[in-house]
Structure 1
Amino acid sequence: MTDHDEVGDVRPLALAWVSRHLEVGERVVRAEALYGGITAEMRRLTIGTRDGGTRELVLRTFVDPFYVGYAEDWLSRETGALNLLAGTGVPAPGLVAVDPAAAHCEYPSLLMTHLEGRTVLDDEGLETRLSLLARQLVAIHAVRPIERPREYVALTTPESVVVPEGADEGVWAAAIDVIRRPAPPYEGRFLHRDFQPGNVLFDVPPTGAADARISGVVDWAATSWGPADLDVAHCATTLALLHGPAWGLRFADAYEEAGGALAADASERKYWLVRDGLAASEEVGEVAQVWRKAGRTELTTRVVEERLDAYVTALMETPG
């Protein structure tokens, strides 16, 4: 049983599939679109319970034809990650059901528990959140799976880098030369692979940002095995584009201060930071659009490109 006026934007087959995974006497009473993701639609589902109360689940649906092609692999990895993380202390959603090949739903889908909190992309309170992000990433890297996820996949190649308009071509050419080198050897870690503020939920009490805490980490579809430096580099790049290059440059230090271990050699650290920074050049427009929808209206594609250029330039000026 459902309240159709409130859940009309949930596709019929998906709604029926969700309903089959509810407890006896429960029903979907409301659906609300969640914003912030690039690859999939997200909806918060309010479930009416037998005792007259409610609980919430989240439905993740891959609809875009480009991403549908990857959905089965991504959802299989996310399922494995959520099962692995249950009971570890890492605040990840709980798995309810998955339909990776769209055998039951219109599109590949994942049903999971809802975590309290919200993404916070504002500049205010960033000092506190930086330390929280670093400590949470150290905890993720401390997970020791019995069965390793697949090895990480590089997100860019020297040939696919998009040099921003007006950037110093010499600097960018030198940066591209950095990632032409073979990847340095590394001690493998369990990686989120897309750990960044858009995939972290915060509980920010009325007392303010100083008392904020992380309430959840979401989007485990890219879970991989690889160097801790790679997760650190990805979060650093996002911080640089979202808040300014200086914040990206600070994140590696925050990670080490939280107890994390990075490559001992400066040139190896630089390799991973530059690699992820260059990877961002291919999706600046999409990222800027997501952030504007989330309220950061000043972050036009051009502004984000300029921040990326400044960040890559700063990386190339560091030793290594």
Structure 2
Amino acid sequence: MTDHDEAPALRPLTLAWVNRQLGPGERIVRTEALHGGITAEMRRLTVAAPDGGTRALVLRSFVDPYFVKHAGDLLNREADALAQLAETDVPAPGPVAVDPAAAHCEYPSLLMTRLPGRTVLTDEGLQARVPLLARQLVAIHALDPADRPQRYKAWTTADAVVPAQGSDRVAWAAAIEVIRKPAPPFEGRFMHRDFHPGNVLFDLSPDGSAGPRITGVVDWVQTSWGPADLDVAHCSTNLALLHGPAWGLRFAEAYEEAGGVLASAAGERLYWLLLDALAFAGQVGPVVRPWQEAGRAELTTRAVEERLDAYVISLVDALS
């Protein structure tokens, strides 16, 4: 879903900065606000060339005070990741220009190329998409750049977890005790760190005659070096909340079927899966909004909290 605006909707300094990144005779003829993100303001820019052709760029701007404060690290990390990915087979945007300290724009910004395809969050066709997601994540984890990104950061702690009202207190207490333990040892991997269906673009044939294919992976601001299990866990949690707990459990299986390697001990796997799932406690609202904008109106905050509760119970029961 997008909102269509005129080019002047870009803030003046940002518009001037973007124009300086364009080729001779190129000009912005259209802007669209892209919905679906949580942390940044995203716009698609249609650029016309003198010969009549057009191309599309994407502009990310951090406007929330918290993310403005951390924009230098996040935008530089994404720009570096995109530059590295340009030398690989992983479909990612190409970096065009970055202004991490808002030296030229009103807000810290990153300009990048736009990839074809769209996000797909429907239940329909999920069985065909999950193996593709798994194979794509295996390919990401196979990368070993000379300049490794920063070490991963956990997004919650045992003491910070507050279960939603009505959650199974026994299961959540057990889950919290699992992540209170020290992190298991792991072999470091190149991590997307926010890999989930909302950050993967698909091409779907209109008549369904051809199967889905992935055309891009976006939003690399959290790129890290760390355990493959945690990247798998994050996608698993998102699948569980979007489509039901069984799909969260299924994704780890699909990842291994695609050749990925996870922790050998069940207790270690449980640690990473719960470390991600419990990070959603009290944070469901911001996740739900883009899903609803994408057409999943039935995914209310309460409905997703109930799915999170069911997923945590299933993890504790299945892997403990």
* TM-score, structure 1 as length reference: 0.97
Alignment of 1:131-280 (within 5 A): 131-208=131-208, 211-280=211-280
1:198 is aligned with what amino acid? G
8 Å CA contact 1:118–1:201 kept in 2: the answer is: yes
User: Which of 304-313 and 162-171 deviates more?
Assistant: 162-171
> 1:82 matched to which residue of 2?
82
Tell me which residue corresponds to 2:283: 283
Once the 2 structures are TM-superposed, how far is the Cα of residue 187 of structure 1 from its aligned partner?
Answer: 0.3
Cα deviation, residue 94, structure 1: 0.2
Q: Which runs of 5+ in 1 are unaligned?
A: none
Aligned partners of 1:132 and 1:214 also within 8 Å: yes
Superposed displacement of residue 319, structure 1 = 3.1
Say if 2:40 and 2:62, in contact at 8 Å, map to a contact too.
yes
Residue 210 of structure 1: how far off its partner (Å):
5.6
Aligned to 2:105: 105
**Matched-pair contact (CA < 8 Å) for 2:230–2:273:** yes
The one-letter amino acid of 2:306's match is E
In angstroms, what is the RMSD of aligned CA positions?
Answer: 1.0
CA distance, structure 1, for counterparts of residue 222 and residue 131 of structure 2: 23
How far apart are 1:68 and its partner, in Å? 1.0
Asked if 1 retains the 8 angstrom alpha-carbon contact of 2:161 and 2:279, the reply is yes
TM-aligned CA distance change 1:209 to 1:154, over 3 Å: farther
Secondary structure of the structure 2 residue equivalent to 1:159: helix
Q: Report SS of the residue matched to 1:116.
A: coil
Paired letter, 1:302 = R
Counterpart Cα distance in 1 of 2:216 and 2:32: 19
Cα deviations by residue, 1:18-52 (Å, 9 ceiling, x for unpaired): 00000011011110010000000110000010211
1:78-126 C-alpha deviation (Å, 9 max, x unpaired): 0110011012000000000000000000000000000000000000000
User: Which residue number corresponds to residue 27 of structure 1?
Assistant: 27
Counterpart of 2:117 in structure 1 is: 117
Contact map agreement 2:8 2:15 (CA 8 A) in 1 = no
Counterpart residue identity of residue 238, structure 1: N
Runs of 4+ in 1 over 2 A off after TM superposition: none
Deviation at residue 209 of structure 1 after TM alignment: 8.0
> For 1:171, what is the secondary structure of its paired residue?
helix
C-alpha separation in 2, matches of 1:17 and 1:220 = 22
How many angstroms does 1:289 deviate by?
1.4
Q: How many residues align?
A: 316
- Structure 2 CA distance for partners of 1:115 and 1:301, relative to 1, 3 Å: same
Q: Tell me, yes or no, if the aligned pair for 2:163 and 2:282 is still in contact at 8 Å.
A: no
**Cα drift, residue 297 of structure 1:** 0.3
Q: By how many angstroms is 1:65 displaced?
A: 1.1
CA change 1:218–1:234 in 2 (3 A) is: same
CA distance in 1, matches of 2:221, 2:289: 21
In 2, the alpha carbon distance for the partners of 1:263 and 1:277 equals: 17
Conserved? CA contact 2:141–2:228, under 8 Å: yes
Partner SS for 1:110: strand
Greater alpha carbon shift after TM alignment, 303-312 vs 141-150: 141-150
One-letter code aligned to 1:202 = F
Q: How far apart are the structure 2 equivalents of 1:171 and 1:206?
A: 43
Distance in 2, Cα, partners of 1:175 & 1:319: 11
Structure 2 unaligned runs (5+)?
none
Deviation larger for 300-309 or 69-78: 69-78
CA distance in 2: counterparts of 1:209 and 1:232, whole angstroms: 30
Percent identity, aligned pairs only, is 68
Give the deviation of 1:69 after TM superposition: 1.3
User: Counterpart amino acid of 2:279?
Assistant: A
- Of 303-312 and 284-293, deviating more is 284-293
| Residues 191, 223 of structure 2: 8 Å contact kept | yes
- Which letter does structure 1 place at the counterpart of 2:29? V
What is the match of residue 14 of structure 2? 14
Q: Deviations over 1:243-271 (max 9, x none)?
A: 00000010000000001000011110010
* Structure 1 CA distance for aligned equivalents of residues 70 and 126 of structure 2: 33
